[in-house]
Amino acid sequence: MSAPSLQVLIVGAGPTGLAAALFLARRGVAVRIVDEAAGPTTTSKALAVNPRTLELLADTGVADRVLGEGQRIDTIRVAHQGRTTATLRPCWDRIAPGRPMTILPQARTETLLAEALADLGVRPEYGAGLTGLTQTADSITVTLSRGETVTASLLLGADGAHSETRHALGLDFPGDASDEPWHLIDVAIEGAPQDEARIEFQRAGPLITLPFSGGVFRIIGFGADLLPRLPAGWKAGPVLWQSDFKVSHRMVPTMAVGRVALAGDAAHIHSPIGGRGMNLGIEDAFVFAACAADALNGDLSRIADYARVRHAVDAAWVKTSRGLTGFVAGQSLPVRALKRIAPLIAASVPGLIDQALKRGMGLDHPTAVR
């Protein structure tokens, strides 16, 4: 039986799907990318583009555009009830030369990925949701909401936390969810430092601020209203976007079944503390593209390699994220004491910040898959 002319169908045109399509198209793989939405997202959602993502996107031209448009972070300030307890200055030249942690709204990152993809002749097809999926030893066949049937050699489900691909594979999504909603606000602020990420532990709960370029800031926290809790001297202007969300930590038991793989939020979700969500999906996309290219050349075991390698990395981060979030949100006496001491220790032990940043930004493991 001859192989289908479509080599890879990608379901979902979020950052994970777009990055996978880009990495595959650059390898000369015949790819289509479909999305059930009417068009691209317009909201800022994930902001942090980390050094590992910039490294993976370097050859695509997208990394330079992110660096050109985004806001680099040179200081991380930790405060307690209004008083600074540590000022951490990551040395990007040592940790990831030329690739500082950069803040850019997710909608803009997706636009840059889509433009690079369009340069290779591939465009996301909107209004085309996956509604059914079957596979044989040789191919996968899906039905789309617009009535089309598509056959391909491989499928990547990058269709987000409520993934229809994951449901079609019959996979669980075990984990837990918090009851307390976190608040998220994008707001113009005067009087705040432009290159500084800040976390303040307040009696009312944590308050995290991240700068976009151009005087707009993301505020994340829980508890009482966030804006009245901003540091002294910061003056909030118009609110541009706000949303409430509940934090979940979930990990799929396997990231591939036969010719179908999962990536990004379809396979793992966790809190935004650490800013890894979108970045982890782009890492998945990069590794999937390398393994899919080998699979299309006859070695289908490479899809199982993808699943094994990425499950280990992704599950480890979900676990770390759960611990970090519990620490940041925790209000017990020992945790409150640790919040005062931990930043001081981090700032005073040589190499500790570098190590923590490398781990948090995916620089602690190779991207090649053996």
Ligand X SMILES: Cc1cc2nc3c(=O)[nH]c(=O)nc-3n(C[C@H](O)[C@H](O)[C@H](O)COP(=O)(O)OP(=O)(O)OC[C@H]3O[C@@H](n4cnc5c(N)ncnc54)[C@H](O)[C@@H]3O)c2cc1C
Q: Total residues contacting ligand X (rule CB under 6 A)?
A: 33
The per-residue DSSP string of 1-32 comes to: -PPPS--EEEE--SHHHHHHHHHHHHTT--EE
**Residue 12 contacts ligand X per CB under 6 A:** yes
Q: Residue 309, Cβ neighbours under 10 Å: how many?
A: 20
Nearer to ligand X, 48 or 116 (CB): 48
- Contact with ligand X (CB under 6 A) among 81, 84, 242, 243: 243
Is the alpha carbon torsion for 1, 258, 264, 354 positive or negative? negative
- Supply the DSSP symbol for 254: -
Residues 141-180 that bind ligand X (CB under 6 A): 158-160, 164
Contact between 282 and 19 (Cβ < 8 Å): yes
Residues 61-120 that bind ligand X (CB under 6 A): 106
Choose the stretch contacting ligand X; rule: CB under 6 A; options: 6-14, 61-69, 146-154, 200-208: 6-14
Query: String of b and e for 117-144 (b: at least 16 CB within 10 Å)?
Result: beeeebebebebbbeebebeeebbbbeb
Q: Residue 238, Cβ neighbours under 10 Å: how many?
A: 8
Nearer to ligand X, 1 or 38 (CB): 38
- Contact with ligand X (CB under 6 A) among 192, 229, 245, 250: 245
Contact between 72 and 99 (Cβ < 8 Å): no
80, 327, 321: which is closest to 204 by C-alpha? 80
Residue type, 69: E
- Contact with ligand X (CB under 6 A) among 55, 186, 200, 265: 265
- Contact with ligand X (CB under 6 A) among 90, 211, 272, 360: 272
Nearer to ligand X, 85 or 249 (CB): 249
Closest CB 28 distance from ligand X, rounded Å: 23
Q: Is 354 exposed, middle or buried (0-12, 13-18, 19+ CB in 10 A)?
A: middle
Nearer to ligand X, 49 or 63 (CB): 49
The contact mask relative to ligand X for 124-143 (x = CB under 6 A, - = no) is: -----xx-------------
Residues 20-49 that bind ligand X (CB under 6 A): 34-37, 45-48
**Residue numbers at the binding site for ligand X (CB under 6 A):** 11-17, 34-37, 45-48, 106, 129-130, 158-160, 164, 184, 243, 245, 264-265, 272, 275-278, 281
